[in-house]
Amino acid sequence: MTATRLMEEAEIRRAVTRIAHEMLERNKGSEGVVLVGIAARGDDLARRLAAEIERIEGTDVPLGVLDITFYRDDIGLRSEAPELHETRVGFDITGKVVVLVDDVLYTGRTIRAAMDALVDFGRPTAIQLAVLVDRGHRELPIRADYVGKNVPTRKDEIVRVTLTEVDGEDAVLVEEPA
């Protein structure tokens, strides 16, 4: 398998910083904004965004993590039940602007599931979406509000985000199918 490196550590860091600024600009500060990362890796990116916002504004943004497994639309279509992660939304999202954070936006089905999961926790004023990579090929009418990098891909390619927290290094890779 051959892998092309699309983003390096420094580019990821700059993208996170830019998204944090865009979020603050669009929402006129961090008041009423909460971050919810989609496990796995979306939660780590959300934590980095929160740290950036803290650095820029000096405010603490509530941070949650969501596992969307139970909301998937392919249960019973897969040979094995997928691996589970923790869900922890320790604050009320009603009346808040929830920024969902994920690593890669692809078909949009994960985001659909995440929105279903979120509304079980309350009624947010708005849900926004931040992703590190948008690789296209949407199967649902969903778009991101904040994008680190748009990457045109073929459907058979695999886009992989690695993060220091879980994988030991920061990078975005495109892998050719075997």
Binding site residues, another protein, CB under 8 A: 67, 69-72, 75-81, 84-88, 116-117, 120-122
CB of 115 to another protein, least distance (A): 12
CB of 81 to another protein, least distance (A): 4
Map residue 124 onto helix, strand or coil: coil
CB contact set of 31 (below 8 Å; sequence gap of 6+): 59
d(C-alpha 41, C-alpha 167), whole Å = 10
Query: Which residue number, 104 or 113, has a Cβ lying nearer to another protein?
Result: 113
Q: What count of other Cβ atoms lies within 10 Å of the Cβ of residue 36?
A: 29
Would you state the structure tokens that stand for residue 61, as one six-digit string? Answer: 């943004």
CB of 152 to another protein, least distance (A): 32
